[in-house]
Structure 1
């Protein structure tokens, strides 16, 4: 019961992205398990890999010419040895549950690595086991590593007096292992002992020790590290600074995010980075050389020195993939045409998807507030300013008289054509706003200027008039014919179809200028206000999603100023579109209507129905926008976020973006990164060394 209440609360009020639920873990097991002859469910090693390493994830680079830094899918089989606690070669549901529980621990990555090396389950790791696994996986041309070094003896004792390592000791040893491998490798290549190595030697060191943690962008540009100084070689200080940058990627990500938020254009300089780092961190200060290295690799494609989050993502995010280029050659003409065609097709499908969701959301919002809209229209259509001649005194009086004279269904007079028309109307408004806003949004910083927000909203309002005007004129005439029937004996009730035929195409766009005058400023006010309420007031971020109540509130609040400030335009539009009764003033146009209302009824007439308009527009757009965003989450466009553009790609859920991949995969991947610090070939299917080949193959050799 508590879980149901929690789920409902999170849906309504919003919550940060949470870990995967236990029932999802069970479902994951059932989805990948198979049955034995007794009907018992179990997982093989292959089933286990399918469960923790989704096939849709990217495990290798897409071209053979690039370094393959992604962890191979087969390497996730290493973790099967940890999950198979009974050593039967099969996992039952209890084994899977135990492994899932292990993944949920705060230090799961280190504990998984520890259990992998704790072969006997004694709660300690033998130093020889670590060395043995390293020797088993290293290739003949690997850079040598001295397991009898001073560093190794500090953790496991000297070679003649080795001792077992406890979990804390093992975890600390594993954390420092990569740095020691890099240090020893540097000494291997620094044959003359002057503290310098060649760029190609540095590249080999990093590729052999760290490529599973770095992006293509860094790996392919490693030799350029020598350019941060006047020397054409790389010093040990450069190597240590580079290693420190690698280890502080999470802190760098945080500093970059905060610094770019404070920047007007979303870009920062080296000085901005160091200033923000000083504010955020206490003891993890970045040295000048470390800052130089970070900005060197992040700024290779942006030599101006002002870098955006997208520039840093190429360094911070190990899953970042380079542009789709082969051996330095641009895409062929055929490939370019194919990519452009695919892009255009995707844009069309995306617009259609937005249009469909906007139609549903618009119809829902209109239905919820239609009675308020009817009351607003009846009030605005009153021509007399003398109390004795007014049919309605206020909004409540109007609603009461409609129900008394026409029944409750009278509040929904004309609702069917309204719903039919409002679907494309709201859909085109939401779609155009999204498209224009996306066009003006900076692709690097994901920011948009205020006046571009106004233009986006105004464009959406202008485009919707194509649907709005015919809809409004039919709706208004249906809404007021109830009061005509009461005042004029024998007055016929007209259908929506009759009104359309009687008006004709030109008549359906009567008052279109007034409609534009109302809808353009309304949308220009509404959409920017709504966006800033979500981000600035309710604190919506990539990881903090708003709930339905928050979305509804933001939409309703944004509708208040937009609705009231455009009421004069709405009054003019209504007067122009309503069929004048006998004795009523007839208006010849926009200017004539405005001046006549001013002369005959005064300034207050321009705000007739203003409160009712707020009561209608505010909740309507609240319902519409909340429904639209909920539908976008519930019914995302197929393949959204999976495309790779020719300008590079950041894999969703990794590095600089919020994690969306399954938790078992994320935890398992991080554990593998620690294990692969020992050797990148652990867990890979390898060809046996010649000395281990069968005798008949050795003979043929």
Structure 2
């Protein structure tokens, strides 16, 4: 601090208070929160009053998730100098409130940076202040800066006989300073003025002006930029192009995210990036050199411009805290044992069965009505018992025993639905997992359809016996009323049909279940991802959204496969006297079309939609909720494979960090000089005084 600032601490406090005076005064809740924070960290008492020391202040205001990997913890002491308006090495509660009030301003980051340079708290930064503060923090880099350059003179014009900057002028100067620092640094190393510098010199420049914005991986690989062109040196154009990328990193990230989202396979090329940039930016554009540099570092230098990269490839460049996955794994990944796999699969089967049972029981009465409507044949006299679904409900309730009649055959349905749904869900997930690109997490539309078809095909082994027993039980009440037949049971049907008979109509069942699953699982996945935005910015769907996605997906799947369901139902129903007996699926299709017309193939279609849509909605929603709340108890802890990206932080902490980053754009070691000097001073003292 200058002598003037130390002699007039009150003027500095008044200046900072004046900048906060235009703000709305904090309410009781904010004061209470600030008081709790202050009391939590304040550990120094003087005459019964609590104060924050430098380290305690840093604990109170630094973002908790910063990790201090790119910004050193001690560099936050720069902000302590802003808060410590009395220059006593301690911050009182009143000073802490003023500092927190400043952080509420939308331009708090620039306010903090301005306060660091406005040493005498005059409300203006003169040339001497600007040069003194910067020189103090640039000296450690070994790269000089010429303060007598034309660029500085353009900003620090004369007013009243002295060079001064008001707050607004200062914000523009500090924003553009990094570009001038870069130009002068390049000129310093370009001794022969040929427009090229060595790779290690380029690395020194970038570490100095932007080291806090890049991951260790990128910083270590900076010299490889020389491999992009012959000569193994780096031109000024390449330095500026790289700097432009760093300056527009947020925009680069947004464009990459959009391009990846719009990509069919989750990979993008240089041309995809430039196309998306052209669509997203009204006036600015990225040059081919800038795009190629992005690809160079994202592809680790392996002919980057020719590669199609995934979003994960760019993380090392986009996230300053990124670390290689191998460095942050808590423990080596254990190979999953066969017993573990079997246990996990069995557990999934159980959850699938429970979820399937809930879905089946919920809609079973609708299924019974659907079956009755599909089986009645308009070509037989007296066969049309039900005019519509509502008429069917009334007659079943009135003539067959009330509500219980609607659950005739539900027991074998519930017994059989467990393996059926488990097979369906498990096979779909298994095939999808095998066909998903492990790098992008994407699966092609053809692969999604194949996974659904495989699930539908595998389930027929369980579905067909279940369906034929269920259908005959559902028709038993109608047969007993019309013909006076004896009571029919599930065991009796199984004995009558035998093993071969239980698979009667299996081809029709395949015709129905394979297309159904193809349509259903594909639609369900895309509804969750594209309509309800699952996974976007970590979004997890709620129960209502899951129900809607599963229910909507079931509608086209159910209706479009109704013809196959009609044929299957008639093949599996025991024909009565006067009814046509079909020889197979093709014969059934031709006969129904000839005798009853196209409309007959869609009998019960609406009931099928009404039944299938809520059934699968309940089933898959229940399955996902069960998985979420009752995960497999013996599952390995998921390994962390990438460093966590930006997490939510209180906005005032973000502004404090950004204020520090503005200063770090001048020098990555900003604030370290004083901290290191203080540390060396303490170490030079006798041990008694150090204590």
TM-score by length of structure 2 reads: 0.72
Q: After TM superposition, give the deviation of residue 207 of structure 1 in Å.
A: 1.8
Tell me which residue corresponds to 1:373: 367
Q: Could you say if the C-alpha distance between residues 303 and 243 of structure 1 is closer, same or farther in structure 2, counting changes exceeding 3 Å? A: closer
Q: After TM superposition, give the deviation of residue 233 of structure 1 in Å.
A: 2.0
Q: After TM superposition, give the deviation of residue 214 of structure 1 in Å.
A: 1.6
Q: After TM superposition, give the deviation of residue 430 of structure 1 in Å.
A: 3.9
Tell me which residue corresponds to 1:454: 449
Q: Could you say if the C-alpha distance between residues 565 and 687 of structure 1 is closer, same or farther in structure 2, counting changes exceeding 3 Å? A: same
Tell me which residue corresponds to 2:242: 242
Q: After TM superposition, give the deviation of residue 200 of structure 1 in Å.
A: 0.7
Does the Cα contact within 8 Å between 1:148 and 1:158 map onto a contact in 2? no
Q: After TM superposition, give the deviation of residue 251 of structure 1 in Å.
A: 3.0
Q: After TM superposition, give the deviation of residue 458 of structure 1 in Å.
A: 0.9
CA distance in 2 between partners of 1:485 and 1:359 (Å) = 32
SS in 2 for 1:210: helix
Does the Cα contact within 8 Å between 1:25 and 1:100 map onto a contact in 2? no
Residue from 320, 323, 326 that aligns with 1:324: 326
Does the Cα contact within 8 Å between 1:359 and 1:422 map onto a contact in 2? yes
Tell me which residue corresponds to 1:18: none
SS in 2 for 1:181: helix
Question: Is 2:333 aligned against 1:339?
Answer: yes
Tell me which residue corresponds to 2:661: 673
Q: Could you say if the C-alpha distance between residues 676 and 140 of structure 1 is closer, same or farther in structure 2, counting changes exceeding 3 Å? A: closer
Worse overlay, 467-476 or 244-253: 467-476
Question: Is 2:608 aligned against 1:613?
Answer: yes
Q: After TM superposition, give the deviation of residue 506 of structure 1 in Å.
A: 7.3
Does the Cα contact within 8 Å between 2:364 and 2:406 map onto a contact in 1? yes
Residues 282-681 of structure 1 correspond to what in structure 2 (within 5 A)?
A: 282-299=282-299, 300-303=301-304, 305-310=306-311, 311-322=313-324, 324=326, 338-339=332-333, 341=335, 362=356, 365-382=359-376, 385-386=379-380, 388-405=382-399, 406-415=401-410, 418=413, 422=417, 425-426=420-421, 428-443=423-438, 446-465=441-460, 467-469=462-464, 471-473=466-468, 475-484=470-479, 486-487=481-482, 491-492=486-487, 494=489, 511-532=505-526, 542-543=536-537, 552-578=547-573, 604-624=599-619, 643-645=639-641, 649=642, 651-654=643-646, 670-681=658-669
Does the Cα contact within 8 Å between 2:103 and 2:655 map onto a contact in 1? no
Q: Could you say if the C-alpha distance between residues 439 and 367 of structure 1 is closer, same or farther in structure 2, counting changes exceeding 3 Å? A: same
Q: Could you say if the C-alpha distance between residues 589 and 244 of structure 1 is closer, same or farther in structure 2, counting changes exceeding 3 Å? A: same
Q: After TM superposition, give the deviation of residue 274 of structure 1 in Å.
A: 4.1
Q: CA RMSD of the aligned region, Å?
A: 5.5
Residues 18-33 of structure 1 correspond to what in structure 2 (within 5 A)?
A: none
Q: Could you say if the C-alpha distance between residues 224 and 260 of structure 1 is closer, same or farther in structure 2, counting changes exceeding 3 Å? A: same
* Structure 2 unmatched runs, 5+: 1-27, 44-48
Note the alpha carbon deviations across 1:50-84, whole angstroms, 9 max, x for none. 896446x7654xxxxxxxxx335676676677789
Tell me which residue corresponds to 2:20: none
Residues 183-198 of structure 1 correspond to what in structure 2 (within 5 A)?
A: 183-198=183-198
Does the Cα contact within 8 Å between 2:371 and 2:569 map onto a contact in 1? yes
SS in 2 for 1:318: coil
CA distance in 1 between partners of 2:420 and 2:126 (Å) = 71
Q: Could you say if the C-alpha distance between residues 430 and 125 of structure 1 is closer, same or farther in structure 2, counting changes exceeding 3 Å? A: farther
Question: Is 2:684 aligned against 1:694?
Answer: yes
CA distance in 2 between partners of 1:133 and 1:391 (Å) = 95
SS in 1 for 2:333: helix
CA distance in 2 between partners of 1:26 and 1:428 (Å) = 57
Does the Cα contact within 8 Å between 1:484 and 1:491 map onto a contact in 2? no
Does the Cα contact within 8 Å between 2:51 and 2:90 map onto a contact in 1? no
Tell me which residue corresponds to 1:13: none
Larger radius of gyration: 2
Tell me which residue corresponds to 1:208: 208
CA distance in 2 between partners of 1:34 and 1:289 (Å) = 51
CA distance in 2 between partners of 1:72 and 1:414 (Å) = 70
SS in 2 for 1:339: coil
Q: After TM superposition, give the deviation of residue 382 of structure 1 in Å.
A: 3.5
Does the Cα contact within 8 Å between 1:33 and 1:47 map onto a contact in 2? no
CA distance in 2 between partners of 1:117 and 1:355 (Å) = 66
SS in 2 for 1:393: coil
Does the Cα contact within 8 Å between 1:137 and 1:681 map onto a contact in 2? yes
Q: Could you say if the C-alpha distance between residues 465 and 91 of structure 1 is closer, same or farther in structure 2, counting changes exceeding 3 Å? A: farther
CA distance in 1 between partners of 2:551 and 2:475 (Å) = 27
Q: Could you say if the C-alpha distance between residues 597 and 232 of structure 1 is closer, same or farther in structure 2, counting changes exceeding 3 Å? A: closer
TM-score by length of structure 1 reads: 0.71
Does the Cα contact within 8 Å between 1:75 and 1:682 map onto a contact in 2? yes
Note the alpha carbon deviations across 1:320-340, whole angstroms, 9 max, x for none. 4346389xxxx9xxx9xx436
CA distance in 1 between partners of 2:654 and 2:504 (Å) = 59
CA distance in 1 between partners of 2:77 and 2:433 (Å) = 42
Tell me which residue corresponds to 1:229: 229
Between the two proteins, the alignment pairs up a number of residues equal to 645
CA distance in 2 between partners of 1:469 and 1:84 (Å) = 79
Note the alpha carbon deviations across 1:356-399, whole angstroms, 9 max, x for none. 87666655544543332221122234467435233323211111
Note the alpha carbon deviations across 1:271-319, whole angstroms, 9 max, x for none. 5544554444343233443344334333423546143343444434434
Does the Cα contact within 8 Å between 1:526 and 1:559 map onto a contact in 2? yes
Worse overlay, 438-447 or 503-512: 503-512
